[in-house]
Structure formats: structure tokens, C-alpha cells
Amino acid sequence: MRGKVTSRSSRFILVIFTAITFLSYGGRVYGGITSTFIRSEWPSVDIPFDNEAFAVPKGHNAPQQVHITQGDYDGKAVIVSWVTSDAPGLSIVNFGTSPGRYTLSAEGTMTNYTFHDYKSGYIHHCLLEGLKYDTKYYYKIGEGESSREFSFQTPPKIGPDAPYKFGIIGDLGQTYNSLSTLEHYMHSGAQAVLFVGDLSYADRYQYNDVGLRWDTWGRFIEKIAAYQPWLWSAGNHEIEYMPYMGEVIPFKSYLHRYATPYLASKSSSPLWYAVRRASAHIIVLSSYSPFVKYTPQWMWLREEFKRVDREKTPWLIVLMHAPIYNSNNAHFMEGESMRSVFESWFVRNKVDVVFAGHVHAYERSVWFFCSIYFMTFA
């Protein structure tokens, strides 16, 4: 970040925005056109099943759909997740700080599920704990010649001047435009993804293809998600309420496949949780879970705001799927009910940024409640 900030770290960096100016009075502004980039293809078209972007790794029972996320409250743990298709195999991750030398290991859990006639592969989740800050780790999963190796970098120690660069992605799907988005991200220099819901869009399909599209999406994002943590939030396309197929349990596929460190923030559900990373305190909310007064999400958020320490994490970020402000005809005012419940809390606790998805168009609004300062984001 460049420019002077009166009460925030001057080194914390976020991807996406070009500039935001905060003033000393309340109100909103029109941000104008901020980019010349225009999608080359509309409407977007799903990539075919047999495309190389969805290639299955070679080898019998080779781990696939590998992805990682933060595994604790403070960034010293990682959850490694993957799928084996032929047999359960071992839910073990070998890891260390030198490539090919794995002095540590951890054992996780395995699960699977059915969705109509579809039967998932064997889904593994393994927690790597006690990691050192700002350290590169190498890890290996799988057995014999089918094993695969990856790496990740832990964040810097939590503190007000800890620099970090996030990418913001939402409503990704698996179209040719989705591929373009991933390519843009890979050149951004970001270190982790804040994902604001709507992952695979598998619910646009029926019967066996629903599960198969979750599998292709997992392989689609692996080239990034196996090396950088994606902090997940759920969108409407994760609900998958399909009674005509006998599927009425919300978020069934999502919750089996994508783990979150919700217990570390004293949450009762993987759908809402919080983490601290570098100089940011990140709160993830669920737009499609009960949030009115006295519900578990409402009560959890009330307590989570009390845990925010601006001396350690001066940046307070909220992720959700449905935006509480939206002038686009698409999904207009769908976030109004959450706005009526939580907006006053956001203002009172001086939330710096709320990132949302759902509307497939870029829009920003700024609510002012602090003294004059200027920020420029990379």
C-alpha cells in the first residue's frame, strides 16, 4: 500500500481495488469506471468434461482435487484436503521445510457421500499444526509412484505491520471465463484467496453430473489451491436443494469437500467462522443460514467482534455472498435482510471492507465513519 494511513498499517496490501478515499462524513459515492477490462465471451460457456483443464492425475489412486485452507485461528496450521477415486488409501500428509525431505507427518480423516446416484471418491482432510510463521513447507500425499508433492508458504506473524496480499474471487464456476480468472489471479502476486461463495455451479446440472462437476472443479482449481490457502464462504449455488432427486440436505456436497477452521473461532458451523492472518482479522458469514437475533450465527458474530484486537490486526474484513448494497438489477436487495441485522454492527465495530459476490458485475460503495485518510491498493 502506498500513501499515509492515520490509524492502520501502511503495508497491508489487497488485490482488486485501485484506490479508495475515506472522508470524515457519512455517505456513499459513485466509484466510476475502474477498469478497461471486458470479458471476451458472453454468455460464458462451461468447459467440456474432457478438457485438459480437468485432467485426472496419472497413477493408480493418485490424489486429486488437492486444496488447502487455513487450519487454525492465527495462521500456524493448514488443512490439506484431497480425493482418491479408487480406494481410501492413507489420510496421511508427510511434510517438512526442504523439498523431498519430510521430517513431519500428520494423519487426517476420510469421508465420502452420495448425491442421488452419484458416489463421491474418498475425501481426505488432514490438519498440519504447529507450523512456523513465514516459512515455506513442502508436503507429499499419496502412496508409491502415485504420490504427489506440493508446497505452501505460511503467513507472517500476526501484527499491525505484517504485509500481505489477498486475492478476491467469487462466483467462479468452470467456464472459459473462469479459466481466464484463474490465469489473471496467477499473475497477481497474491498470497491467498478470499473466496466469496459460489464454487462449482454443479447445481446447474442434474443427477450424476452434479457430483461429476464437483470433481472437475476440484481438479480445475488445484493448480492454485494446492499451493495457496483459499478461505471459503458458501453461496446460493452450494445449497443444492433438489427434492426431485431426493436431495434435501443443504450444502451437502460443499460441507463434505471443503473444510474450514470453524472450531478455532468457537463457531458451531463450518459455514461461518473467523481467522486472523498477517494484519487482518477476517470474518466469514453465511448469507443462506439463519442470522436473525438469537440464532447461532447472530450470537457467534456478537462474540467474535469482541475478540477483534485492532492493535494486532488493524484490518477488519468481512466476507459474505449476497451483498448488502447492490444497485444492479440482478439480485437487487437480496442482501437487505442481512443488512438490516448486521449493518449497525459493521459500523459500530468499524469494519474496513466487506467483500461479497453473487452479482456478476463489479461494484463498490464506501461507507464513511472515520477521519480523513487515503489509501492506494496494489
* Helix%, strand%, coil% for the chain, nearest 5: 20, 25, 55
Mean pLDDT, the chain, rounded, equals 88
For residue 198, is it left (φ>0), alpha (ψ between -120 and 50) or beta?
left
What the block records as the C-alpha cell of 222 is: 488445484
Segment 236-246 shows an average pLDDT of: 97
Q: Report the pLDDT value the prediction gives residue 215, as an integer from 0 to 100.
A: 98
Q: Give the pLDDT confidence score for residue 28 in this predicted structure.
A: 45
Query: What pLDDT score was predicted for residue 32?
Result: 61
How large a percentage of the chain has pLDDT more than 70? 86
What does the alpha-carbon distance between residue 308 and residue 74 come to, in Å, rounded to a whole number?
Answer: 12
184-198: pLDDT as tens digits: 999 999 999 999 999
| pTM of this structure | 0.88
| Coil vs helix vs strand at 128 | strand
Residue 331 is a catalytic residue: yes
Q: What is the pLDDT of residue 35?
A: 66
Q: Which of 60, 116, 256, 331 is catalytic?
A: 331
- Predicted confidence (pLDDT) at residue 42 exceeds the cutoff of 80: no
Quickly state the pLDDT bin for 44 (edges 50, 70, 90): confident
Residue predicted with more confidence, 13 or 200: 200
Q: Which residue has the higher pLDDT, 52 or 364?
A: 52
Q: In this predicted structure, what is the pLDDT of residue 13?
A: 40
In whole angstroms, give the CA distance from residue 100 to residue 96: 8
Q: Which residues contact 377 (CB under 8 A, 6 or more apart)?
A: 1, 13, 14, 15, 16, 17, 18, 19, 20
Determine the residue type at 39: R
- What is the predicted pLDDT for the residue at 17? 33
Average pLDDT over residues 121-127: 98
